[in-house]
């Protein structure tokens, strides 16, 4: 059980996470961390089996706590087919068939992989009432400690309530070798937190929405640490990978602590996730979450800057003001990291800002602008600024072989 004390109306938050291990060679500790379990069902995909899964399997097997292994074909999207495979393979038949008995179930599910494997294991864990954990192979998004999973069900991407991981194990040496698009995605997902926190503060002020200052400060500190180290991401610097990994896990934890994704998701996610929805509706595989959130963050920054320049709403401007130097830091970071963009078409860009307002029920700057009759004008105006200031190349140009 992890917990924090704070001064919000709740006063104290807790989540049933037992272990978060982020360290070099963390994989070697897996059997020790999971020693309370006896029959672990181990799920991974082909790529992750090579980079980490094989070693995890060996260690669990040596310790006598491995039930069996399922290796899904790569890339293993969190879709109904893969979730179905995990469900079918979760139980083992008994040696002697017994018409009165059910299959012999594991006592734990361990995923080795990134966001897709985590989401796939998490929904099965929740449905079967089995605890689960994840050995993360790439710091690409903040879902390791999340309580929901966005799953592909037919042509729709639907967010399902799930269980939270009991153990999160991040081997920094493995994560530092993750494909560069995944590392950039993790950075993009973290960059967005400034915008998320600002939206949360504004909604707290305008709508008296629930808010926890302690959680806000935790995410702020973690984001600062990531932005400061960000320039070394391209070198696969271990300390940078540590900060990104820890920041992403902490963001997930903070969502779980507060029971809302407010600490981790605001205007930038509403825009980025709307692009994902456009892709899903068109039958395409969505781009990496954090890459779209990163681009969405630059759109959000420019919306906030324009608001600050032009609005006479002094109380809200006062809330925005301390964030302006942080936005400057993100602007500087982009000159070094040059996060690629997925959306460069003006209509698609502008449409997502307008449609993003209703991506979910959440008061953000998009709703504020809409209520003041300014959303369309702002969406149209920031496109040129974002492309001029932040665009270097498209994701496809930088990573032509990425599926």
CB-nearer residue toward Zn ion: 3 or 207: 3
Q: With contacts defined by CB under 5 A, name the span among 4-12, 240-248, 316-324, 352-360 that binds Zn ion.
A: 4-12
CB-nearer residue toward Zn ion: 51 or 219: 219
Q: Residues 298-327 vs Zn ion: string with x where CB under 5 A?
A: ------------------------------
CB-nearer residue toward Zn ion: 106 or 272: 272
Residues 6+ apart with CB under 8 A from 293: 188, 189, 191, 192, 268, 269, 272, 273
Least distance between Zn ion and beta carbon 71 (Å): 27
Contact status: 6 vs Zn ion (CB under 5 A): yes
Least distance between Zn ion and beta carbon 268 (Å): 9
Q: With contacts defined by CB under 5 A, name the span among 5-13, 19-27, 202-210, 390-398 that binds Zn ion.
A: 5-13
Four-CA torsion 272, 274, 278, 279, nearest 10 degrees:
40
Q: What is the DSSP letter of 75?
A: S
Least distance between Zn ion and beta carbon 287 (Å): 13
Contact status: 219 vs Zn ion (CB under 5 A): no
Specify whether the CB–CB gap between 9 and 210 falls below 8 A. yes
Share of the chain residues as helix, strand and coil, in percent rounded to the nearest 5: 55, 15, 30
Least distance between Zn ion and beta carbon 215 (Å): 6
Q: Find the binder of Zn ion among 17, 212, 222, 255 (CB under 5 A).
A: 212
Least distance between Zn ion and beta carbon 6 (Å): 3
d(CA 399, CA 401): 6
Q: What angle do CA 383, 385, 388 make, to 5 degrees?
A: 105
Q: With contacts defined by CB under 5 A, name the span among 34-42, 65-73, 187-195, 360-368 that binds Zn ion.
A: 187-195
Pairing of strands 40-45, 19-23: unpaired
Q: Find the binder of Zn ion among 57, 131, 171, 189 (CB under 5 A).
A: 189
Contact status: 8 vs Zn ion (CB under 5 A): yes
Least distance between Zn ion and beta carbon 46 (Å): 26
State phi, psi for 44 to the nearest 5 degrees.
-150, -175
Least distance between Zn ion and beta carbon 65 (Å): 33
Q: With contacts defined by CB under 5 A, name the span among 44-52, 181-189, 280-288, 334-342 that binds Zn ion.
A: 181-189
Q: What tokens does 299 get?
A: 């759109």
Q: What tokens does 263 get?
A: 């600490």
Region of residue 352 (phi > 0: left; psi between -120 and 50: alpha; otherwise: beta)? alpha
83 CB neighbour count, 10 Å cutoff: 23
- Which residues here bind Zn ion, judged by CB under 5 A? 6, 8, 10, 189, 212
């Amino acid at each position: 059980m992890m917990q924090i004390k704070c001064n919000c109306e709740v006063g104290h938050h807790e989540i049933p996470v037992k272990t978060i291990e982020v360290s070099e060679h963390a994989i070697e500790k897996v059997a020790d961390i999971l020693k309370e379990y006896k029959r672990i069902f181990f799920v991974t995909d082909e790529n992750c089996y090579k980079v980490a899964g094989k070693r995890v399997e060996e260690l669990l097997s040596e310790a006598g706590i491995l039930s069996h292994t399922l290796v899904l074909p790569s890339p293993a999207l969190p879709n109904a087919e893969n979730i179905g495979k995990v469900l079918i393979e979760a139980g083992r038949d008994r040696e002697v068939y017994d018409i009165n008995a059910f299959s012999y179930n594991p006592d734990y599910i361990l995923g080795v992989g990134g966001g897709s494997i985590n989401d796939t294991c998490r929904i099965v864990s929740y449905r079967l009432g089995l605890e689960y954990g994840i050995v993360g192979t790439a710091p690409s998004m903040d879902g390791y400690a999340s309580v929901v999973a966005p799953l592909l069900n037919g042509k729709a991407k639907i967010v399902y309530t799930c269980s939270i991981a009991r153990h999160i194990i991040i081997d920094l040496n493995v994560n530092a070798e993750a494909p560069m698009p995944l590392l950039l995605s993790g950075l993009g997902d973290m960059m967005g937190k400034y915008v998320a926190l600002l939206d949360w503060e504004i909604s707290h002020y305008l709508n008296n929405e629930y808010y926890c200052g302690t959680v806000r400060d935790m995410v702020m500190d973690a984001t600062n640490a990531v932005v400061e180290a960000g320039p070394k991401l391209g070198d696969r610097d271990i300390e940078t990978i540590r900060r990104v990994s820890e920041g992403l896990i902490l963001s997930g934890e903070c969502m779980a602590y507060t029971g809302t994704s407010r600490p981790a998701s605001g205007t930038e996610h509403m825009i980025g996730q709307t692009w994902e929805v456009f892709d899903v509706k068109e039958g395409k595989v969505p781009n990496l979450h954090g890459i779209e959130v990163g681009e969405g963050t630059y759109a959000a920054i420019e919306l906030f800057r324009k608001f600050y320049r032009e609005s006479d709403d002094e109380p809200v401007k006062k809330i925005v003001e301390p964030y302006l130097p942080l936005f400057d830091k993100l602007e500087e970071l982009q000159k070094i990291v040059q996060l690629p963009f997925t959306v460069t078409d003006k209509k698609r860009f502008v449409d997502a800002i307008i449609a993003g307002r209703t991506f979910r029920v959440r008061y953000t700057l998009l709703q504020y602008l809409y209520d003041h009759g300014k959303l369309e004008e702002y969406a149209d105006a920031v496109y040129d600024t974002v492309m001029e200031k932040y665009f270097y190349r498209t994701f496809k140009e930088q990573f032509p072989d990425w599926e």
